[in-house]
Amino acid sequence: MSSTNSRAGRLALAAAAGVLSLTLSLPALAVDTGGGGGTPAPAAMAPAPAMTTHMAPMARTPKMHLIDLNDARKLIAKSDWTGAIKLLRQIVVQQPRNADALNLLGYSLRQHGDMAEAEAWYLKALKLKPAHLGANEYLGELYVLTGHVDKAKVRLATIAKICGNTTCEEYKDLAKAIAAKA
């Protein structure tokens, strides 16, 4: 690079830093919107320090795109258990405290035939949200399918407490599954 180009680049950088410094050092303007009831506006914030030529601009952190749980629900509606499981595994990595995602992963695994892993995901959902009706119902249904009707009845009693009655859909569905096993 020639010395002329190098000098021009340094001058442009210095000019940009000067404009930025001037802009950042101007005091913030307080605007009275008329709704303060006569109290004065708070004092303007202290001006930001001037940026010098040796300061690097702050890097922007890219926003993470969260996978939509409804996309997984669409796969579940089509009984695409493999696709739903794959997508839900990604969702629970992104959103490990999303009890609905944990529950749906358990449901999809159960429908796919993996009872042990399904149970683990239901229990994780219930650890986060003990009153999660879906996780309580689906875990109860898993217990019915695996011959643990006593555990299913505990889930049924939990659902009754959460609903405050025995007429909510989750209670009726689990009660029907337990009755069919008897």
Pairwise CA distance, residues 48 & 16, whole Å: 16
Structure confidence at residue 12 as a pLDDT band (50, 70, 90): low
pTM of the entire predicted model: 0.66
Pairwise CA distance, residues 141 & 174, whole Å: 6
End-to-end CA distance of the chain: 86
The number of helix segments (H) and strand segments (E) in the chain equals 8, 0
Give the domain ranges of the chain: 1-59, 69-181
The radius of gyration of the chain's CA atoms, rounded to the nearest angstrom, is 30
Residue-wise pLDDT tens digits, 30-40: 333 333 444 44
Tokens 């994780």: give the residue. 124
pLDDT tops 60 at residue 69: yes
Tell me which CATH homologous superfamily contains domain 69-181: Tetratricopeptide repeat domain (1.25.40.10)
Residue of 79, 113, 75 lying closest to 91 (CA atoms): 75
pLDDT, greater one: 5 or 91: 91
Angle at alpha carbon of residue 60, lines to 55 and 66, rounded to 5° = 165
Q: Give the DSSP per-residue string, 166-177.
A: S-SHHHHHHHHH
Residue-wise pLDDT tens digits, 77-114: 999 999 999 999 999 999 999 999 999 999 999 999 99
Pairwise CA distance, residues 48 & 21, whole Å: 9
Mean pLDDT computed over 67-75: 97
Mean pLDDT computed over 51-70: 69
Structure confidence at residue 65 as a pLDDT band (50, 70, 90): confident
**pLDDT value for 11:** 54
Residue-wise pLDDT tens digits, 124-166: 999 999 999 999 999 999 999 999 999 999 999 999 999 999 9
Mean pLDDT computed over 4-18: 53
